[in-house]
Structure 1
Amino acid sequence: MTRTLTILGATGSIGRSTADVVLAHRDELRVEAVVGGHDAEALAQTARKLGARFAALADEKGGAALKEALSGSGIGSGAGAAAVSEAAERDADVVLAAISGTAGLRPTEAALKPGRRIALANKESLVCAGEAFMAETRRLGVEILPVDSEHNALDQALAAGRNGDVEKAIITATGGPFRTWSRERIAAASPAEASAHPVWSMGSKINIDSATLMNKGLELIEAHHLFGLEAERLDVLVHPEAIVHGLVQWSDGAVTAGLALPDMRVPIANALRHHERLVMPLPRLDLASIGRLSFEEADEARFPCLALARAALRAGGAMPTILNAANEIAVAAFMAGKIGFYAISEKVEFVCSSFSGRRLAAPATISDALAIDEEARDAARQLIPK
């Protein structure tokens, strides 16, 4: 049976990997709409290649360029927030939500429709507005399937038993580019060094989050909402080879693990056709040739952002929203050369502490989440040198 697909964030790394999956299965996946950010030419090329019916650019100023690039294709187009919402709301069986940052909150919310599946790659939907987002998915009967390799591995591993029998669900981390560096050497790291991820090819901001291990902290918060597991039953394990992506330790002592080569097309294919696996023309995992898999504990002394994220998860309420907002401002300042590497965690900790006494409740709506997000960003901006 052919399933229709809309791709939010079609020109990013996840979107490009999704295009590869679609092109390998044109008879099983048909693209309804594609959404991009600012690059009209790249979005038009993607729309043409995938045979989409509609293309929407978030940047309203690029509307004319997109229309021109699609001239003669028969593909409809639009630009601006209304066009992005239109794309998200068009009839489709599956919506891949891969717009990064808080910019993806509104489009992902618009994609929530009864009986629909959301292949979720937008962290902010769960980190910033997890309770509100998951409540709405339950109300509408929307199925959420994680695209991140770690959460996708956990999703598959958790099918081996009951949630109540889970002692620990563990996501893995490569350890980033600074896994073996001393704290002193890390302190002097440049943005270019922090952006050099040893395994994955991602955007600059995500690469920095990988270097600080904040990305693993955010993934713990995501896992809490996705799988209904408390902070005490969630953990991180450093695994440089990036072959084991998630593990579930059960009450009887057994462990179920999700393994795959580090290729985002694997979890994407699983999320798009859950329970009906696609045949993907990808290299197969050969454990004998790899020979050895290694694991170690995450060092929160050298990577304090992970500890900050764990604390935000335990605190609950709006603290994960505040943590994420402060982190985005601090990371941007580091990338611009305004602050040092460890100033990222220092700024985030200061902002979180400044809000802790208010005990803000978890955002009840996406609008609430965006309001808290902006307030926390303003607080973080005050800490950045001009």
Structure 2
Amino acid sequence: MTRSVSLLGSTGSIGTQALEVIARHRDSFEVVALAAGGSHPELVIEQARAFGPRLVALASDAAFAEVRDALPGVEVLAGPDAVVAAAGIGADVVLNGVTGSVGLRPTLAALAAGSTLALANKESLVAGGPLVNRSRVRDDQIVPVDSEHSALAQALRSGTKGEVRRLVVTASGGAFRGRTRRELESVTYADALKHPTWDMGPVVTVNSASLVNKALEVIEAHLLFDIPAERIDVVVHPQSVIHSMVEFVDGSTIAQASPPDMRLPIALGLSWPSRLDGVATPPDWTQAHTWTFEPLDEHVFPAIRVARQALAASELHPAVFNAANEECVAAFAVRDLSFLGITDTVRRVVEAYEGADASSVEAVEAAETWARARARELISNVG
């Protein structure tokens, strides 16, 4: 059966790889909507001509006329509500590959429409997790697309929830694995973008270097799988072949292994619970391999400790954590904040927030607005 797909963030890393998967399995999927920020109108036009959606949505209206005129017969929307409209179109699957907490409203729209949500936008779950979970119309409506959470979802099929002892999320260690805090004092934005195994967008790559990305994944794993944060561990695995593990009460551990290729979790997000043929090349088991695992140095990389603190504080503290980090990464990119200042500032913002319940999108957005303002204040004082 052909599944209809609405793809949010079509010009980003997740979106372009998703279209590669769909192009190789055209009989399995029909793209009905594409949504993008709008900064690459020529790519959106190319994608729309190749896949024939009936709706194209642009978050910015700057390129609206250019895209509209290039795509006669296609409905083109622009503005802050355009991506939400694409999410709520009623597709069988909505792949949310938007970057940042702006993905929250599209996430909620997809859930409200009854679509299966293939979720690559971890920030929307981190920022509005309780709100997102309350919006599900069925328990299996969210399929994670992060490689780690996709691995956990696969491994969790090996037992019941009551048989799970803990989740083990693996981390590559990012660009600065093995460095001391002193060695990190002078690293640059360009240094942080040199990820050893993954090819990702700049924000995610910096988050990987600071281990904030892994901190967000701990929050996300707690919300997705309803496992207490204290039973979610992080281990450094530089080869990025084991994407995560589930340890069961009898002492067995189920691990998911595959190359560091995002097309595999993307494909699973689109086709779950079925698998598509030939998405990635498996490890060559006729050759010798060495896979190593190292404990996380939380003194050098304290982001995960701060994330656990946020989870324990209130429903909205994770939103504060994420929004403050986005401001700090932006400041780091223009040299207004040091690399070590990212997590240190996020911690100070989290500790200053008084907390509240995630009762509405407006409540989440108010917490984020406060966090961004507080982070900017702290950054300016550092400067």
TM bucket (normalised to shorter chain) is over 0.9
Following TM superposition, where does structure 1 have runs of at least 4 consecutive aligned residues deviating by more than 6 angstroms?
none
Checking the alignment, whether the CA contact within 8 Å between 1:112 and 1:142 is kept in structure 2 is no
Deviations 1:200-247 (A, max 9, x none): 111111111100101001000000010000011101110000000010
- C-alpha deviations, 1:181-207, integer Å up to 9, x for none? 222111110110011111111111111
2:106 paired residue number:
107
Change (3 A) 1:141 1:349: closer
How far, CA to CA, are the matches of 1:23 and 1:17 in structure 2?
Answer: 10
Distance 1:371 1:43, change over 3 A: same
Cα distance per residue 1:273-326 (max 9 Å; x no partner):
112211125322224435111000111111122221122123342211111111
Q: Secondary structure at the match of 1:363?
A: coil
Match for residue 260 of structure 1? 258
Percent identity over paired residues? 42
CA 246–141 in structure 1, closer or farther in 2 if over 3 Å, else same: closer
Paired residues of 1:129 and 1:362 also in contact (CA < 8 A):
no
Matching residue's letter, 1:29: F
Residue deviations 1:115-161 (CA, integer Å, cap 9, x gap): 42000011122111100101111x46661000000000000101111
Q: Against the structure 1 CA distance between its residues 42 and 290, is the aligned structure 2 distance closer, same or farther, given a 3 Å change threshold?
A: farther
Aligned to 2:362: 367
Corresponding residue pairs, total? 380
Instruction: Answer yes or no: is the 8 Å Cα contact 2:267–2:279 preserved in 1.
Output: no
Question: Quick one: distance in 2 between partners of 1:267 and 1:290?
Answer: 25
Taking the aligned partners of 1:287 and 1:192, their CA distance within structure 2 comes to: 36
**AA in 2 matched with 1:249:** E
TM-score by length of 2: 0.96
Q: Which residue of 1 aligns with 2:377?
A: 382
Aligned to 1:146: 144
Specify the SS of the correspondent of 1:129.
Answer: helix
SS at match of 2:255: strand
Partner residue of 2:8? 8
Which position in structure 2 is the counterpart of 1:83?
Answer: 82
Deviation, structure 1 residue 89: 1.7
**In structure 2, distance between residues paired with 1:141 and 1:310:** 25
CA contact (8 A) 2:90 2:110 kept: no
- Match in the other structure for 2:33: 33
* Structure 1, 116-125 or 60-69: larger mean CA deviation: 60-69
In the alignment, the residues of structure 2 paired with residue 132 and residue 271 of structure 1 have an alpha-carbon distance, to the nearest angstrom, of 21
Equivalence for 1:58 = 59
Distance in 2 between the 1:288 and 1:344 partners? Answer: 43
In the alignment, the residues of structure 2 paired with residue 228 and residue 276 of structure 1 have an alpha-carbon distance, to the nearest angstrom, of 23
Aligned to 1:301: 299
Aligned partner of 2:234 among 222, 233, 236: 236
CA RMSD of aligned residues (A): 1.5
Q: Which moved more, 1:365-374 or 1:215-224?
A: 365-374
Distance (whole Å) between structure 1 residues aligned to residue 170 and residue 365 of structure 2:
29
Contact 1:94/1:117 (CA < 8 Å) preserved in 2? yes
Determine if contact 2:11/2:36 at 8 Å carries over to the other structure. Answer: yes
Structure 1 residue aligned with 2:290: 292
Q: 1:116·1:142 contact (CA, 8 Å) conserved in 2?
A: no
**Equivalents in 2 of 1:185, 1:64: separation in Å?**
49
2:160 to 159, 162, 173: 162
Residue equivalent to 2:244: 246
- Structure-1 separation of matches of 2:220 and 2:286: 33
Offset from partner CA, 1:325-372 (integer Å, 9 cap, x none) = 1111111111110111111122111111111xx2x2231122211111
Which 5+ residue runs of structure 1 have no aligned equivalent? none
Unaligned runs of 5+ in 2: none
The 2-side partners of 1:292 and 1:141 are apart by: 38
Cα deviation for residue 180 of structure 1 reads 2.1
Amino acid in structure 2 at the alignment position of 1:349: R
Mapped partners of 2:138, 2:145: distance in 1: 21
Q: Give the corresponding residue for 1:21.
A: 21
Please state if 1:44 is matched with 2:45: yes
- What residue identity is the alignment partner of 1:2? T
Give the stretch that moved more between structures: 139-148 or 20-29: 139-148
Pairing 1:93–2:92 present: yes
For residue 98 of structure 1, what is the amino acid of its counterpart?
Answer: G
The 1:51–1:285 alpha-carbon spacing in structure 2 relative to 1, beyond 3 Å, is farther
Conserved? CA contact 1:24–1:280, under 8 Å: no
Question: Following superposition of structure 1 onto structure 2, how do residues 129-140 of structure 1 map, counting pairs within 5 Å?
Answer: 129-137=128-136, 139=137
* Structure 1 pair 281–169 and aligned structure 2 pair: CA distance change class (3 A): closer
Q: Does structure 1 conserve the Cα–Cα contact (< 8 Å) formed by 2:90 and 2:115?
A: no
